[in-house]
Amino acid sequence: MVMTRDLAATMRILEPAPGVLGFYDGRLPGKRLWSDAPNWLDDGAYELGICTYAILDGDEALVYDTHISLDHARIIRATLEARGVRHIRVVLSHWHDDHVAGNEIFSDCEIIANRRTAELLAQNRATIEAAEPPIRPLIMPNRLFDDRLDLAIGGRRVALHRMDIHSEDGTVMVLSDAGLLFAGDTLEDPITYVAEPTRLAAHLAEIDRLAGLSFTRILPDHGAEAVIAAGGYHRGFLEATHRYVSGLLAARTDPALAALPLVDWIAEDVARGAIRPFAPYEAVHRRNLAAVLEAATCAASSAPAPG
Protein backbone atom coordinates (compact mmCIF):
# COMPACT_ATOMS: atom_id res chain seq x y z
CA MET A 1 0.00 0.00 0.00
CA VAL A 2 1.29 3.49 -0.87
CA MET A 3 0.78 6.10 1.81
CA THR A 4 -1.10 9.36 1.29
CA ARG A 5 1.39 11.95 0.03
CA ASP A 6 1.98 14.80 2.47
CA LEU A 7 5.65 14.18 2.84
CA ALA A 8 6.70 17.15 4.96
CA ALA A 9 3.70 17.25 7.30
CA THR A 10 5.74 16.08 10.31
CA MET A 11 8.84 18.23 9.74
CA ARG A 12 9.91 20.35 12.73
CA ILE A 13 11.96 23.55 12.48
CA LEU A 14 14.65 23.92 15.14
CA GLU A 15 17.06 26.76 15.94
CA PRO A 16 20.13 25.16 17.52
CA ALA A 17 22.12 28.42 17.42
CA PRO A 18 21.45 32.06 16.51
CA GLY A 19 21.08 32.32 12.75
CA VAL A 20 21.12 28.53 12.31
CA LEU A 21 17.98 26.56 11.46
CA GLY A 22 17.55 22.79 11.54
CA PHE A 23 14.85 21.07 9.51
CA TYR A 24 14.12 17.82 11.35
CA ASP A 25 11.85 14.96 10.39
CA GLY A 26 11.35 11.36 11.41
CA ARG A 27 11.98 9.26 14.52
CA LEU A 28 8.21 8.88 14.94
CA PRO A 29 7.43 5.26 15.94
CA GLY A 30 5.10 3.48 13.54
CA LYS A 31 5.00 6.38 11.07
CA ARG A 32 6.03 5.93 7.43
CA LEU A 33 5.90 8.49 4.66
CA TRP A 34 6.22 6.72 1.34
CA SER A 35 5.19 3.06 1.45
CA ASP A 36 4.81 -0.05 3.56
CA ALA A 37 7.33 -1.70 1.25
CA PRO A 38 11.06 -1.21 1.87
CA ASN A 39 12.36 2.08 0.46
CA TRP A 40 15.25 4.46 1.08
CA LEU A 41 13.09 7.33 2.35
CA ASP A 42 11.33 5.47 5.16
CA ASP A 43 13.98 2.92 6.09
CA GLY A 44 17.19 4.83 5.45
CA ALA A 45 16.20 8.29 6.63
CA TYR A 46 12.78 8.85 8.18
CA GLU A 47 12.87 5.99 10.68
CA LEU A 48 16.30 7.04 11.93
CA GLY A 49 15.53 10.78 11.87
CA ILE A 50 17.14 13.34 9.59
CA CYS A 51 17.99 17.01 9.98
CA THR A 52 19.37 19.35 7.35
CA TYR A 53 20.45 22.90 8.08
CA ALA A 54 20.60 26.51 6.96
CA ILE A 55 22.91 29.32 8.08
CA LEU A 56 21.43 32.80 7.74
CA ASP A 57 22.82 36.32 7.84
CA GLY A 58 20.89 39.26 6.42
CA ASP A 59 19.46 38.36 3.04
CA GLU A 60 21.87 35.44 2.48
CA ALA A 61 21.58 31.78 3.45
CA LEU A 62 23.62 28.62 3.03
CA VAL A 63 21.58 25.39 2.94
CA TYR A 64 23.38 22.20 3.99
CA ASP A 65 21.67 19.29 2.20
CA THR A 66 18.24 19.56 0.56
CA HIS A 67 16.40 16.90 2.58
CA ILE A 68 14.40 13.80 1.67
CA SER A 69 11.74 15.15 -0.70
CA LEU A 70 10.71 18.13 -2.79
CA ASP A 71 8.03 18.90 -0.18
CA HIS A 72 10.68 19.24 2.52
CA ALA A 73 12.86 21.38 0.28
CA ARG A 74 9.96 23.68 -0.56
CA ILE A 75 9.36 24.33 3.16
CA ILE A 76 13.06 25.01 3.70
CA ARG A 77 13.11 27.57 0.91
CA ALA A 78 9.82 29.17 1.94
CA THR A 79 11.02 29.46 5.55
CA LEU A 80 14.22 31.20 4.47
CA GLU A 81 12.42 33.57 2.13
CA ALA A 82 9.89 34.43 4.86
CA ARG A 83 12.86 35.54 6.96
CA GLY A 84 14.05 37.91 4.26
CA VAL A 85 16.56 35.68 2.49
CA ARG A 86 17.00 36.52 -1.18
CA HIS A 87 20.31 34.81 -2.00
CA ILE A 88 20.62 31.07 -1.34
CA ARG A 89 23.53 28.72 -1.86
CA VAL A 90 23.47 24.97 -1.23
CA VAL A 91 26.20 22.61 0.02
CA LEU A 92 25.84 18.85 -0.43
CA SER A 93 27.36 16.75 2.36
CA HIS A 94 27.71 13.70 0.06
CA TRP A 95 25.96 11.87 -2.75
CA HIS A 96 23.41 9.66 -0.94
CA ASP A 97 19.69 9.90 -1.79
CA ASP A 98 18.44 11.39 1.48
CA HIS A 99 20.77 14.39 1.15
CA VAL A 100 20.08 15.37 -2.48
CA ALA A 101 16.37 14.57 -2.95
CA GLY A 102 15.31 18.23 -2.72
CA ASN A 103 17.93 19.64 -5.11
CA GLU A 104 15.37 20.49 -7.78
CA ILE A 105 13.81 23.17 -5.56
CA PHE A 106 17.20 24.93 -5.54
CA SER A 107 18.00 24.41 -9.22
CA ASP A 108 18.32 28.18 -9.75
CA CYS A 109 20.89 28.43 -6.94
CA GLU A 110 24.58 27.71 -6.67
CA ILE A 111 24.86 24.05 -5.55
CA ILE A 112 28.31 23.31 -4.14
CA ALA A 113 29.91 19.89 -3.73
CA ASN A 114 33.36 18.42 -3.67
CA ARG A 115 34.54 16.96 -6.94
CA ARG A 116 34.14 13.34 -5.82
CA THR A 117 30.49 13.95 -4.87
CA ALA A 118 29.82 15.22 -8.39
CA GLU A 119 31.52 12.16 -9.87
CA LEU A 120 29.53 9.72 -7.73
CA LEU A 121 26.25 11.48 -8.48
CA ALA A 122 27.01 11.25 -12.20
CA GLN A 123 27.99 7.57 -11.95
CA ASN A 124 24.85 6.70 -9.98
CA ARG A 125 22.42 9.09 -11.65
CA ALA A 126 20.32 6.43 -13.39
CA THR A 127 19.95 4.44 -10.16
CA ILE A 128 19.07 7.52 -8.11
CA GLU A 129 16.47 8.69 -10.61
CA ALA A 130 14.90 5.21 -10.72
CA ALA A 131 14.99 4.68 -6.93
CA GLU A 132 11.94 4.11 -4.73
CA PRO A 133 10.95 6.89 -4.38
CA PRO A 134 12.56 8.32 -7.51
CA ILE A 135 14.66 11.49 -7.46
CA ARG A 136 13.88 12.64 -10.97
CA PRO A 137 15.37 14.79 -12.27
CA LEU A 138 18.50 14.66 -10.15
CA ILE A 139 19.87 18.21 -10.16
CA MET A 140 23.66 18.16 -10.18
CA PRO A 141 26.05 20.48 -8.35
CA ASN A 142 27.28 23.44 -10.39
CA ARG A 143 30.26 24.55 -8.29
CA LEU A 144 32.99 22.10 -7.31
CA PHE A 145 35.96 22.15 -4.96
CA ASP A 146 38.68 19.68 -4.05
CA ASP A 147 39.79 19.67 -0.41
CA ARG A 148 38.68 22.97 1.14
CA LEU A 149 36.50 25.93 0.24
CA ASP A 150 35.95 29.07 2.35
CA LEU A 151 32.64 30.92 2.00
CA ALA A 152 31.08 34.10 3.37
CA ILE A 153 27.37 34.18 4.22
CA GLY A 154 26.79 37.84 4.93
CA GLY A 155 29.34 38.57 7.64
CA ARG A 156 29.71 34.93 8.71
CA ARG A 157 32.54 32.64 7.64
CA VAL A 158 32.12 28.97 6.80
CA ALA A 159 34.88 26.52 5.86
CA LEU A 160 34.05 23.39 3.85
CA HIS A 161 36.34 20.39 4.30
CA ARG A 162 36.31 17.15 2.36
CA MET A 163 36.31 14.14 4.73
CA ASP A 164 36.55 10.45 3.87
CA ILE A 165 34.17 9.17 6.57
CA HIS A 166 31.01 7.07 5.98
CA SER A 167 31.42 7.87 2.29
CA GLU A 168 34.63 8.78 0.49
CA ASP A 169 33.07 12.05 -0.71
CA GLY A 170 32.01 13.59 2.60
CA THR A 171 31.90 17.37 3.06
CA VAL A 172 31.67 18.89 6.53
CA MET A 173 31.29 22.58 7.39
CA VAL A 174 32.70 24.65 10.25
CA LEU A 175 30.88 27.86 11.17
CA SER A 176 33.66 29.64 13.01
CA ASP A 177 31.72 32.32 14.90
CA ALA A 178 29.49 29.70 16.54
CA GLY A 179 32.07 26.93 16.96
CA LEU A 180 29.75 24.57 15.07
CA LEU A 181 30.65 21.53 13.00
CA PHE A 182 27.98 20.49 10.49
CA ALA A 183 28.88 16.83 10.22
CA GLY A 184 26.55 15.38 7.57
CA ASP A 185 26.79 11.61 7.90
CA THR A 186 30.41 11.53 9.08
CA LEU A 187 28.99 11.23 12.61
CA GLU A 188 25.64 9.64 13.42
CA ASP A 189 23.93 9.13 16.77
CA PRO A 190 24.26 6.56 18.19
CA ILE A 191 26.33 4.70 15.53
CA THR A 192 27.57 5.24 12.02
CA TYR A 193 25.79 3.59 9.10
CA VAL A 194 28.45 1.59 7.26
CA ALA A 195 28.19 2.42 3.56
CA GLU A 196 31.72 1.32 2.59
CA PRO A 197 32.66 -1.77 4.65
CA THR A 198 36.02 -2.29 2.92
CA ARG A 199 37.22 1.22 3.82
CA LEU A 200 36.71 1.40 7.58
CA ALA A 201 40.43 1.76 8.35
CA ALA A 202 40.54 4.85 6.13
CA HIS A 203 37.42 6.24 7.79
CA LEU A 204 38.98 5.69 11.22
CA ALA A 205 42.06 7.72 10.29
CA GLU A 206 39.84 10.48 8.91
CA ILE A 207 37.91 10.69 12.19
CA ASP A 208 41.23 11.63 13.80
CA ARG A 209 41.72 14.32 11.13
CA LEU A 210 38.19 15.61 11.71
CA ALA A 211 38.99 15.94 15.41
CA GLY A 212 41.76 18.38 14.46
CA LEU A 213 39.29 20.99 13.22
CA SER A 214 38.29 23.84 15.52
CA PHE A 215 34.74 23.51 16.89
CA THR A 216 32.97 22.96 20.19
CA ARG A 217 29.56 21.55 19.17
CA ILE A 218 28.41 19.15 16.46
CA LEU A 219 25.24 19.09 14.35
CA PRO A 220 24.84 15.76 12.53
CA ASP A 221 22.27 14.99 9.84
CA HIS A 222 21.10 11.91 11.80
CA GLY A 223 20.73 12.37 15.53
CA ALA A 224 18.39 13.01 18.43
CA GLU A 225 16.03 15.94 17.92
CA ALA A 226 16.32 17.18 21.51
CA VAL A 227 20.12 17.25 21.39
CA ILE A 228 20.18 19.11 18.08
CA ALA A 229 17.56 21.59 19.28
CA ALA A 230 19.62 22.29 22.40
CA GLY A 231 22.71 23.22 20.38
CA GLY A 232 24.23 19.93 19.30
CA TYR A 233 26.61 17.27 20.54
CA HIS A 234 29.90 17.76 22.36
CA ARG A 235 33.22 16.46 21.06
CA GLY A 236 32.77 13.14 22.85
CA PHE A 237 30.60 12.22 19.86
CA LEU A 238 33.81 11.86 17.84
CA GLU A 239 35.30 9.51 20.41
CA ALA A 240 32.14 7.40 20.43
CA THR A 241 32.22 7.03 16.65
CA HIS A 242 35.94 6.20 16.70
CA ARG A 243 35.32 3.54 19.35
CA TYR A 244 32.46 1.98 17.38
CA VAL A 245 34.36 1.81 14.09
CA SER A 246 37.35 0.33 15.92
CA GLY A 247 34.99 -2.28 17.35
CA LEU A 248 33.73 -3.21 13.89
CA LEU A 249 37.29 -3.78 12.74
CA ALA A 250 38.03 -5.90 15.82
CA ALA A 251 34.83 -7.93 15.36
CA ARG A 252 36.22 -9.40 12.13
CA THR A 253 38.36 -11.73 14.27
CA ASP A 254 36.40 -11.69 17.53
CA PRO A 255 33.15 -13.71 17.32
CA ALA A 256 32.28 -12.98 20.96
CA LEU A 257 32.38 -9.24 20.31
CA ALA A 258 30.32 -9.63 17.13
CA ALA A 259 27.64 -11.52 19.06
CA LEU A 260 27.06 -8.75 21.61
CA PRO A 261 23.97 -6.52 21.26
CA LEU A 262 24.47 -2.88 20.37
CA VAL A 263 23.60 -1.76 23.89
CA ASP A 264 26.79 -3.46 25.13
CA TRP A 265 28.93 -1.92 22.39
CA ILE A 266 27.88 1.64 23.21
CA ALA A 267 27.25 1.45 26.97
CA GLU A 268 30.33 3.48 27.94
CA ASP A 269 29.57 6.30 25.52
CA VAL A 270 25.88 6.38 26.50
CA ALA A 271 26.92 6.62 30.16
CA ARG A 272 29.20 9.57 29.28
CA GLY A 273 26.32 11.31 27.53
CA ALA A 274 28.17 11.35 24.19
CA ILE A 275 25.38 9.49 22.35
CA ARG A 276 21.79 8.44 23.00
CA PRO A 277 20.38 4.91 22.54
CA PHE A 278 17.72 4.55 19.84
CA ALA A 279 16.18 1.11 19.30
CA PRO A 280 16.05 1.06 15.46
CA TYR A 281 19.84 1.25 15.38
CA GLU A 282 20.09 -2.34 16.62
CA ALA A 283 19.09 -3.40 13.10
CA VAL A 284 21.62 -0.94 11.64
CA HIS A 285 24.29 -2.46 13.88
CA ARG A 286 23.48 -6.00 12.74
CA ARG A 287 23.56 -4.86 9.11
CA ASN A 288 26.90 -3.12 9.70
CA LEU A 289 28.40 -6.25 11.21
CA ALA A 290 27.12 -8.44 8.38
CA ALA A 291 28.61 -6.09 5.79
CA VAL A 292 31.97 -5.86 7.55
CA LEU A 293 32.25 -9.63 8.10
CA GLU A 294 31.28 -10.37 4.50
CA ALA A 295 33.88 -7.90 3.24
CA ALA A 296 36.53 -9.51 5.43
CA THR A 297 35.60 -12.99 4.18
CA CYS A 298 35.76 -11.86 0.55
CA ALA A 299 39.15 -10.23 1.12
CA ALA A 300 40.51 -13.40 2.72
CA SER A 301 39.23 -15.65 -0.05
CA SER A 302 40.76 -13.46 -2.76
CA ALA A 303 44.17 -13.16 -1.10
CA PRO A 304 46.99 -15.03 -2.90
CA ALA A 305 48.02 -18.34 -1.38
CA PRO A 306 51.27 -18.21 0.65
CA GLY A 307 54.40 -19.41 -1.13
pLDDT of residue 128: 98
Q: What is the maximal distance between C-alpha atoms in the chain? A: 70
Q: Measure the CA–CA gap between 38 and 40, rounded to whole angstroms.
A: 7
Residue type, 183: A
pLDDT of residue 297: 84
| Number of CB atoms found within 10 A of residue 247's CB | 20
Residues 128-165 as b or e (16 or more Cβ within 10 Å = b) = beebebebeebbbbeebbeeebebebeebebebbbbbb
By DSSP bridging, strand 180-184 and strand 167-175 are: antiparallel
pLDDT of residue 69: 98
pLDDT of residue 304: 59
If residue 33 lies in a helix (H) or strand (E), which one and from where to where?
none
Angle among Cα 14, 170, 199 to the nearest 5 degrees reads: 130
In this structure, which long-range contacts are made by residues 198-202, counting pairs with CB atoms below 8 Å and at least 24 apart in sequence?
A: 198/295, 198/299, 199/164, 199/168, 200/245, 200/248, 200/249, 200/292, 201/249, 202/164, 202/168
Secondary structure (DSSP) of 174-231: EEGGGTEEEEETSS-SSS---S-GGGHHHHHHHHHHHHTS--SEEEESSS-HHHHHTT
Spell out the per-residue pLDDT of the chain, length 307, in tens.
Answer: 344 468 999 999 999 999 999 999 999 999 999 999 999 999 989 999 999 999 999 999 999 999 999 999 999 999 999 999 999 999 999 999 999 999 999 999 999 999 999 999 999 999 999 999 999 999 999 999 999 999 999 999 999 999 999 999 999 999 999 999 999 999 999 999 999 999 999 999 999 999 999 999 999 999 999 999 999 999 999 999 999 999 999 999 999 999 999 999 999 999 999 999 999 999 999 999 999 999 988 876 665 555 5
In this structure, which long-range contacts are made by residues 282-290, counting pairs with CB atoms below 8 Å and at least 24 apart in sequence?
A: 284/48, 284/191, 284/193, 285/191, 285/261, 287/194, 288/191, 288/192, 288/193, 288/194, 288/197, 288/248, 289/248, 289/251, 289/258
pLDDT of residue 301: 60
Half-sphere exposure of 83 (CA within 13 A, CB side): 19
**pTM, 2 dp:** 0.95
pLDDT of residue 3: 42
Q: Measure the CA–CA gap between 220 and 216, rounded to whole angstroms.
A: 13
Three-state secondary structure call for residue 45: helix
Instruction: Assign a CATH topology to domain 12-145+152-300.
Output: Metallo-beta-lactamase; Chain A (3.60.15)
Q: Which of 179, 192, 268, 190 shows the shortest CA–CA distance to 218?
A: 179
